[in-house]
Amino acid sequence: MSSKDRDIEAIKTFCKQFQQFCDSVTEDANKLKNMAYYAEGSLKDQVGRGVTQKVVEFSDELIQIVDQGMEPVRELERKAIQMEEDMERIQSELER
């Protein structure tokens, strides 16, 4: 472990807030996709249907990007939790 003083609670708070942000973006992308599907059903021309298909593709790509971006943050959170558990274990051993 490095000699840097790490604020584990700040890391965990950041991870939680970032997860909430990602969940919000994913939810909005799903809403956009559903609206495109709904609009596609009422469109009669090929151009409109093509545009709605592009919106669906964009929404799917956005969801994938958010999920990929979340993975390093999940790993950071796992490491912070592990570090916290290790520090608690060491503290407990020192107090014996």
pLDDT digits (tens, 9 = 90+) for 62-88: 999 999 999 999 999 999 999 999 999
pTM of the predicted protein model: 0.77
Tokens of 32: 């956009």
Cβ distance 43 to 52 under 8 Å?
yes
Assign a CATH topology to domain 9-94.
Answer: Helix Hairpins (1.10.287)
Instruction: Average the pLDDT over 41-64 and give the result.
Output: 90
Compute the Cα dihedral for 49, 50, 55, 61 and give only its sign. positive
Instruction: Average the pLDDT over 25-46 and give the result.
Output: 90
Please give the pLDDT value at position 54: 94
